[in-house]
Amino acid sequence: MKAKGTKKQIVEKKNVFFTKTGLDADFVTTLSDHIFMFLLNKGGATVIETYDYVRESGISNVDIKKEEILSLLERLVYLGNAEVSVAKNGNSSLYGSKVFKPVKFMVGRCPLSEVPCYNCPYSSICSPTNVSCNPRNCKAFVDLLKVPDDL
């Protein structure tokens, strides 16, 4: 039972990602981008290494905690930009045992960009009914469809 007249204490948690008006999304995105580039350049890092990088590089002019660096790294994992694994160095610390590595994206080729018609200057007049410019007499198109002899 509560005593009469007691007020519930509201504990305000300090976090660098929030301002008086709410989440500072630009700050979070900027820090995440810098951390992702750090992971790409280094090939992977722990929370402690990332924390040291952020402090030494001067990216942020506010004092950032290791917990906040961990949340940014976990955000990168959630977005699919990084993956996490457990280090084999025996460090049982939460901040030293997890290694965050960047996910390397493969740039896919667009099949349309390989079709010669996509970049052809005559594509606007080319059609099967046009006698002078059609896919049947187009050398680039015929070469594309040609099956190699070694198959």
Q: In the numeric block, which tokens belong to residue 132?
A: 């002078």
Q: What is the pLDDT of residues 95-150, one digit of tens each?
A: 667 889 998 765 666 666 666 777 777 778 888 888 888 888 887 777 777 777 76
Q: Pick the closest to residue 67 from 80, 83, 51 (CA basis).
A: 51
Q: What is the pLDDT of residues 48-66, one digit of tens each?
A: 999 999 999 888 888 888 8
Query: Domains in the chain, please, with CATH?
Result: 18-102 (1.10.10.10), 111-145 (no CATH)
> pTM of the predicted model, to two decimals?
0.58
Q: Pick the closest to residue 51 from 63, 77, 25, 69 (CA basis).
A: 69
